[in-house]
Structure 1
Amino acid sequence: MNGRFSSTLAAFLGGWCLLTGAVQAEGLSGPSSTAAALAPGDGLTDPQFRSDFPLSALPGFYAWKDGLAEGGFSFGADYLALGQWGNSDIGSGDAGGGIARLFGTYDAGGGHSYTFKLENRHAYGAVAPQFFGLDSGALSITGTAFNDSGTLLTNLFYTYRDPEGRFTLQAGQIDVTDFLDIYSLVSPYTAFQNLAFNTNPTINAPNPGLGLAAGVQLSPNVYAVASIADANGDPSSPDTGVFSSGETFKSLEIGYTSGPGRIYFDNIHLTFWQSDASDDLGRPKDKGVSFSASWLFGNAWAPFLRYGQSDGTAALYERSLSTGIGWYRRNTDLAGLGLNWAEGNGIDGRQFTAEAFYRFSISPNFQITPSVQFIENPLLDPTQSSITLFGLRARMLF
């Protein structure tokens, strides 16, 4: 094993072992994780929906799934589609793409479980939504996760959750954005689409790859989450290259929450991170810190304030400030409004981004989300004063 990776891993494990004497640890499952995908409704499900489609169309299938879940194996599949259209003077003018996912968990008992997620991400035309902002002249990821990467193994990990709730440990093929700098509106599958309002765009988070993560509840209201993962992760071709390269991404988050079950609804935290350079990929090293505060009032209103800064060598932005609010309706409809100011990586000037969306929850398993994004002073094309993008996302869960 590479000496640098060995020493880093040893230090991480040593620090983790010092923390595990705490109580009431929460798992490592944010709004975009497999666990969240298996529990539709944002954890706030109200039975009053417009319909029960597709449950009503496939009662035998869902009964079979329920039977498997009683034996410890829970799984689901979904398909997401996103179309975007813009008024930029340059670029293609539109983008479209889809994501097909198969995911699940097996609860082996005694706190031991196993999680998997396979995805196929594809574009419908020449430009995938993830790159539509760049294609239109903005330094902006306007369709987070909707790229054309093909078939990906994004999750294949083992979890141990202490039966007394004191800590959780994950190891295997992990996606650090499942738990890194999260809040209730972080998921590009169910909430905001622009990276400015997803995982902080000043964090050079790696693609899914081999890693280790731990979450610990230090008190009923204070928690810590730490991770070390392959900085060169490639979910389209998973490997163990991190053991030879030693190039890793590290993070440490300390946060305050109203209680373990509300860890991403009521959350104030500080996140520190560092990513090694890669000579093979031409990526410089980078590090930074981010702050996030979000609180859900009355299970309806979710204001947020998020800030991040980095060395500005590899992350999308050197500095970023976001604020906004989410509004959960009775049947888990969700409206969101976000505002972002950012300084680009190595680019003079500041870019302003606004996004508004309304997610119609037709049923617990079927959602449609129209959205609009406005980008002022697009940093990649200073000849344009602003760009407006319209989007329409659909998600069907089986």
Structure 2
Amino acid sequence: MTSFTRIQDMVCARVAARPGWTFAVALALTSVVFSPQTAIAEEATPSAVAASAGGNLSGHPLNGPESADSLLTDSGEEKQDLLDRNVLQEWEAWKAAVTEKTGLSFGADYTIVGFGANTSLGDRTAVSGIARIYGSWALFNRGAANTGSIEFKGENRHSFTDTPPQLLGLAAGYVGVTQPVFSDQRFRTTTLYWKQRFLEDRAVARLGLVDVKEYFDVFALGSPWSGFQNLVFSTGANTIAILPDGAFGGMAGGYLTDHIYSAVGIADASADPTSAFQSFETFFSDFDTFKTFEIGLTGGGKLLFVDNAHISFWHMDDIARTGAPGGWGVIGSASKLIDGKWLAFLRGGWAHEGGGLYEASVSTGFGYMPTPAGNLLGVGVNWGRPNRHTLKAALDDQWTGEVFYRVQVSENFQVTPSVQLLGDPALNPDKDLIALFGLRSRVTF
């Protein structure tokens, strides 16, 4: 019997014995979905509503804004910051000179997230940080259309508290993920692949250690580094347990017409980003894969991910190495930019098995950016039905609300206070509402 199966049976037993709504139930559930070998779904999406988000995507079909290339483009754009100050101007000028001479672009950032809950079955506070270094090295057709480049991103995810932000919602009795990436995973390889643009930059292909979230179900406000933090507002809407990164695989996609795009991909579902190069072996030996197909309608160009409606399908094999169950599902998403400042969205997902925490989920809300590449307000609400196949029990539906306001303090520094309201927490039925207060800060280099 695998460790996954043993933990699942333990969770089932505790849930069935209704008096046992204890912190142990939450801890058991976290072991299922956050084992070191399981890459929990996390989102790579734009950090702004209009100009700063869309500007990263012009001429780069399906190039998610948390990819190395998009992060570098965003860091090079002038921000509407409160202090109107860039203390790293000389450093950025030197980096630009290196890029001009060699084709190598690189950057780094450090982000810290802290949460405090008003009530919990276990810990009530959590603090974690992530240091990232990323780059793009143009080696073919540099400065022209149809560029070929190597892209890379490495991270160190570390927690300052016993319970990291990734697990605080479960510790409080909420079936969900209040912050999908801020964990205690330590060093990891997120991406290392060859990216080839073709058809005069209307299409793109990737091959190597890929991150599925760079091209699958991208949503303009879902970045855990700069947008919504709860997974219900991110890739898969909390209906998918595993969204591989640091995983050997490939994808191809682009514009079929000026306003219709499509993408298909496959990646190693058993990949472990902390030992990413093993994925080359497990992909071919086990061939337990995560497969995606997406087709969408968009305004095109800079509006690719803000005037957007898409439907996405996924299928995952049973994962022999971890015991994670296979499954499949569908995701629908629609977002519309209004007056260049408001972004309204409606998103939903449904899954058949697959190990996700929700089997059905619907989110709606809006983002508001008063000035391009400046402060950002986000408001969202979600309804979710816990996955009976994962939990081996029919738990009550949950409601989730999140409000954040991102402040661009200086050219290279952001601060984002937030509040998450976790309604009818399924593992803590004595509470009607849990409030989670958060503070996130990010500095770029």
Normalised by the length of structure 2, the TM-score is 0.80
Distance 1:205 1:214 in 2: 20
Residue in 1 aligned with 2:416?
Answer: 369
Which SS does the other structure have where 1:242 is aligned?
helix
Residue in 1 aligned with 2:222?
Answer: 186
Tell me how far 1:285 sits from its aligned partner.
1.0
1:196 aligns with 2:243: no
Normalised by the length of structure 1, the TM-score is 0.89
Which one is further off, 326-335 or 220-229? 326-335
Which SS does the other structure have where 1:69 is aligned?
helix
Tell me how far 1:392 sits from its aligned partner.
0.1
Q: Is the 8 A contact 1:78 1:101 kept in 2?
A: yes
Residue in 1 aligned with 2:95?
Answer: 65
Distance 2:199 2:330 in 1: 32
- Say what the alpha-carbon RMSD is for the aligned residues: 1.7
Q: 1:61 to 1:137 in 2, by over 3 A?
A: same
Which SS does the other structure have where 2:353 is aligned?
coil
Distance 1:103 1:39 in 2: 12
1:275 aligns with 2:309: no
Distance 2:396 2:226 in 1: 31
Tell me how far 1:97 sits from its aligned partner.
0.1
1:33 aligns with 2:67: yes
Higher helix residue share? 2
Q: Is the 8 A contact 1:306 1:321 kept in 2?
A: yes
Q: 1:280 to 1:329 in 2, by over 3 A?
A: same
Q: What does 1:146-165 correspond to in 2, within 5 Å? A: 146-162=182-198, 164-165=200-201
Identity %: 39
Q: 1:47 to 1:285 in 2, by over 3 A?
A: closer
Distance 1:47 1:62 in 2: 14
Tell me how far 1:345 sits from its aligned partner.
1.2
Which one is further off, 351-360 or 322-331? 322-331
Tell me how far 1:312 sits from its aligned partner.
3.2
Residue in 1 aligned with 2:83?
Answer: 51
Distance 2:206 2:341 in 1: 31
Tell me how far 1:69 sits from its aligned partner.
2.0
Equivalent of residue 335 in structure 2, options 294, 297, 309: 294
1:206 aligns with 2:243: yes
Q: What does 1:1-398 correspond to in 2, within 5 Å? A: 26-40=60-74, 48-53=80-85, 55-56=86-87, 58-71=88-101, 72-110=103-141, 111-162=147-198, 164-200=200-236, 201-208=238-245, 209-238=247-276, 239=278, 240=280, 241-330=282-371, 331-346=373-388, 347-398=394-445
Q: Is the 8 A contact 1:286 1:315 kept in 2?
A: no
Which one is further off, 197-206 or 366-375? 197-206
Distance 2:401 2:79 in 1: 32
Q: Is the 8 A contact 2:288 2:320 kept in 1?
A: no
Distance 1:70 1:220 in 2: 31
Q: Is the 8 A contact 2:61 2:202 kept in 1?
A: no
Which SS does the other structure have where 1:39 is aligned?
helix
Give the counterpart letter for 1:50 in structure 2.
L
Tell me how far 1:25 sits from its aligned partner.
7.6
Distance 1:48 1:383 in 2: 45
Q: Specify every segment of 5 or more residues in structure 1 that has no aligned partner in the other structure, as ranges.
A: 1-23
Residue in 2 aligned with 1:19?
Answer: none
Which one is further off, 190-199 or 259-268? 259-268
Q: Specify every segment of 5 or more residues in structure 2 that has no aligned partner in the other structure, as ranges.
A: 1-57, 142-146, 389-393
Distance 1:216 1:47 in 2: 29
Aligned residue-pair number: 371
Tell me how far 1:315 sits from its aligned partner.
1.3
Distance 1:219 1:237 in 2: 39
